[in-house]
């Protein structure tokens, strides 16, 4: 058995389960229970939970255990607002700094999105959309920015997954991607930034869509 910090992997697994909605907001995470499930002691479980608490995914009140944070719609919009700005920044930098290899990766990711769109496969589109955005982050050539954008993107992935299912969202998203690619390839940083900002931010009718999907997700609903 490899003895090299299990809490890392445990954190990733729990993070994933929160992101995919298996651990719903408001749900209590019992240390002993998790320890039994993963067949480890409470120690690595606790270490994983501490990290998640620090990153804001769970809330650990002293002596009251870990709870998956209930993200209010307002909070979620705030997070998307910041995400939009980070992506806009990536786009602005990418337009100036991207290499031929970056362009190639971006175009490839865009084409795979197109496939998923044509097949009308929201799950595939969701995954390929992630790669599209990652390609833009990478092209910014700012390592720290890439990490931050990546981290926030992961935190929002559960809600992004929901958004893709909204009627016509996939088509709109893909069309926006096309314009973004165009601006990036043309080297127009400001335009790319502006389009990415609008692409990511949640406002207007998309806000209503989000609220609607949240309630089906169990957030701000009857969950206590």
Give me the residues that bind DNA (CB under 7 A), please. 1-7, 29-32, 40-44, 46-47, 60-66
| Token reading at 87 | 């992506």
> Considering just the CA atoms, what is the radius of gyration of the chain in Å?
19
Closest-CA residue to 60 (of 24, 29, 14): 29
- When CB distances are held under 5 to 8 angstroms depending on the partner's kind, the choice from its own copies, DNA, none that residue 179 binds is none
The interface with its own copies within residues 4-23 (CB under 8 A) comprises: 4-5, 7, 11
As measured in angstroms, the least distance from the Cβ of 203 to its own copies is: 13
Contacts with its own copies by CB under 8 A: the residue count is: 31
Residue nearer to DNA on the CB measure, 36 or 215 = 36
Binding mask 143-172 for its own copies (x = CB under 8 A): xxx-xx------------------------
Nearer to its own copies, 148 or 188 (CB): 148
Q: In angstroms, rounded to a whole number, what is the distance separating the alpha carbons of residues 72 and 141? A: 33
151: Cβ contacts below 8 Å, ≥ 6 apart: 55
Structure tokens at 202: 């949640």
Q: Cβ distance 102 to 135 under 8 Å?
A: yes
Residue 121 Cβ vs its own copies, minimum distance, rounded to whole Å:
32
Which region, judged by CB under 8 A, interacts with its own copies, from 79-87, 121-129, 179-187, 208-216?
Answer: 79-87
State the nearest-atom distance from the C-beta of 56 to DNA, in Å: 17
DSSP 49-80: HHHHHHHTSEEEETTTEEEE----HHHHHHHH
- Phi, psi of 56, deg, nearest 5: 95, 5
Residues that bind its own copies (CB under 8 A): 3-5, 7, 11, 43, 46-47, 50-51, 53-56, 60, 62-63, 75, 78-79, 81-82, 85-86, 89, 142-145, 147-148
């Amino acid at each position: 058995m490899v003895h090299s910090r299990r809490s890392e992997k445990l954190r990733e697994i729990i993070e994933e389960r929160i992101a995919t909605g298996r651990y719903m907001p408001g749900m209590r995470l019992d240390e002993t229970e998790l320890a039994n499930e993963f067949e480890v002691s409470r120690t690595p479980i606790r270490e994983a939970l501490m990290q998640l608490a620090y990153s804001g995914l769970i809330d650990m009140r002293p002596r009251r255990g870990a709870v998956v944070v209930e993200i209010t719609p307002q909070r979620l919009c705030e997070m998307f607002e910041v995400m939009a700005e980070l992506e806009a920044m990536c786009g602005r930098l990418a337009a100036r700094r991207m290499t031929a290899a970056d362009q190639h990766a971006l175009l490839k990711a865009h084409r795979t999105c197109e496939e998923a769109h044509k097949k009308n496969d929201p799950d595939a589109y969701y995954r390929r959309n992630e790669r599209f955005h990652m390609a833009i982050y990478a092209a910014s050539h700012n390592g720290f920015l890439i990490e931050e954008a990546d981290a926030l993107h992961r935190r929002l992935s559960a809600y992004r997954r929901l958004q893709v299912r909204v009627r016509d969202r996939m088509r709109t998203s893909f069309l926006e991607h096309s314009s973004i690619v165009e601006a990036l390839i043309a080297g127009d940083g400001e335009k790319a930034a502006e389009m990415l900002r609008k692409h990511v931010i949640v406002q207007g009718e998309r806000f209503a869509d989000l609220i609607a999907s949240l309630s089906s997700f169990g957030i701000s609903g009857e969950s206590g």
